[in-house]
Amino acid sequence: MPQENFGDRPQKLIDAFRALDSKKSGRIPAPLVAKVLALYAPDFTGEEKTEFFTEADDKGFIAYESFVKDIIFGKQ
């Protein structure tokens, strides 16, 4: 099955998360991810939002680049 072409959308979302990453660690707090996605992608289901939090590490942070590529847009 061919993969959908998302164009530059994944990179734009990564760049948006990077702008929120004040420590430039490649990770941001899961609740911040949820807020951003609620504002810019309100069509995510409750189940999808719950999945976001399962991607958080033991300190509650999400590595946003792999999160966007693997979870939001699927492996490309």
Report yes or no: 73 and 5 within 8 Å, Cβ to Cβ: no
Q: What tokens appear for 27 in the block?
A: 């990770």
The pLDDT of residue 4 is 63
Using DSSP's 3-state secondary structure scheme, residue 50 falls into helix
Task: Select the more confidently predicted residue: 5 or 76.
Answer: 5
69: containing domain: 27-76
Q: How many domains, in total, are found in the chain?
A: 1
Using DSSP's 3-state secondary structure scheme, residue 62 falls into strand
Q: What tokens appear for 71 in the block?
A: 């979870």
Domain assignment of residue 57, yes or no: yes
Domain assignment of residue 2, yes or no: no
The per-residue pLDDT for range 32-64, each reduced to its tens digit, is 888 887 787 777 777 877 777 888 999 999 999
Domain assignment of residue 36, yes or no: yes
